[in-house]
């Protein structure tokens, strides 16, 4: 065989081996089911631990169209109709609220989300300040945690919660199975 052909074949085989997708490692997951103030199920979320933080994949229906604050709250309890049982924002490090706060943000601070004219709210967002693993940032501390959708947008600076209005949907975060995320 010609030496150049051997080199070309070796380069192609090496490149093909390097281009193979890697198998993702098993990652902890969690699930959450949203209920509204009347107790109706209005959505779900799947949470997956990633190297960058926790990936939240949420889908809700029946939401008033427009912009809504979305936060992780400190207690895994969602008593209707006001969901105050979920406590304040998840804040294990004791920082100020909001992306604009000089000494912020809470671990539970998340970007505002926009419900469509038909009332659907679908989003994926990564929170690098929380974890599904054990430790100080774990959402599975002694009293758990909850995901809360608010009536108004978060202004990202008012203390202690961004002037986000009432709590309109709440979901307790529950430990899921360890899984291999789909690629």
Q: What is the CATH number of the domain that holds 131?
A: 2.60.40.200
Task: Name the nearest CA neighbour of 63 among 94, 35, 26.
Answer: 35
Please give the C-alpha separations between residue 67 and each of 26, 56, 62, 138, 151, in angstroms, as whole numbers. Answer: 34, 18, 14, 28, 8
The structure's pTM equals 0.82
pLDDT surpassing 50 at residue 20: no
| Residues spanned by the domain of 37 | 29-175
Q: How confident is the model at residue 158 (pLDDT cuts 50, 70, 90)?
A: confident
**Total number of domains in the chain:** 1
Distance CA 99, CA 112 (A): 11
Q: How confident is the model at residue 110 (pLDDT cuts 50, 70, 90)?
A: very high
Structural domain includes residue 2: no
Please give the C-alpha separations between residue 63 and each of 35, 44, 85, 168, in angstroms, as whole numbers. Answer: 11, 13, 21, 9
Task: Name the nearest CA neighbour of 71 among 53, 90, 87.
Answer: 90
Q: Provide mean pLDDT across the span 101-121.
A: 91
Structural domain includes residue 59: yes
Structural domain includes residue 16: no
Structural domain includes residue 53: yes
Q: Provide mean pLDDT across the span 92-117.
A: 89
Structural domain includes residue 20: no
Q: How confident is the model at residue 102 (pLDDT cuts 50, 70, 90)?
A: confident
Structural domain includes residue 183: no
Task: Name the nearest CA neighbour of 51 among 28, 18, 19.
Answer: 28
Structural domain includes residue 4: no
The residue behind tokens 């051997």 is: 6
Structural domain includes residue 83: yes
Task: Name the nearest CA neighbour of 162 among 119, 121, 101, 113.
Answer: 101
């Amino acid at each position: 065989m010609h030496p150049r052909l051997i080199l070309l074949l070796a380069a192609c085989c090496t490149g093909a081996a390097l281009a193979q997708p890697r198998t993702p490692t098993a990652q902890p997951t969690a699930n959450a089911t949203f209920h509204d103030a009347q107790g109706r199920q209005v959505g779900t979320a799947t949470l997956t631990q990633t190297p960058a933080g926790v990936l939240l994949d949420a889908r809700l229906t029946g939401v008033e169209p427009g912009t809504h604050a979305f936060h992780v709250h400190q207690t895994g309890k969602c008593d209707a109709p006001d969901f105050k049982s979920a406590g304040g924002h998840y804040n294990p490090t004791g920082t100020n609220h909001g992306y604009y706060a000089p000494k912020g943000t809470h671990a539970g601070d998340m970007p505002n989300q926009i419900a469509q004219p038909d009332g659907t709210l679908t989003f994926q967002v990564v929170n690098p300040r929380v974890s599904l693993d054990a430790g100080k940032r774990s959402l599975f501390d002694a009293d758990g945690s909850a995901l809360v959708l608010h009536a108004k947008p978060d202004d990202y600076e008012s203390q202690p919660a961004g002037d986000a209005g009432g709590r309109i949907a709440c979901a307790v975060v529950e430990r899921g199975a360890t899984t291999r995320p789909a690629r």
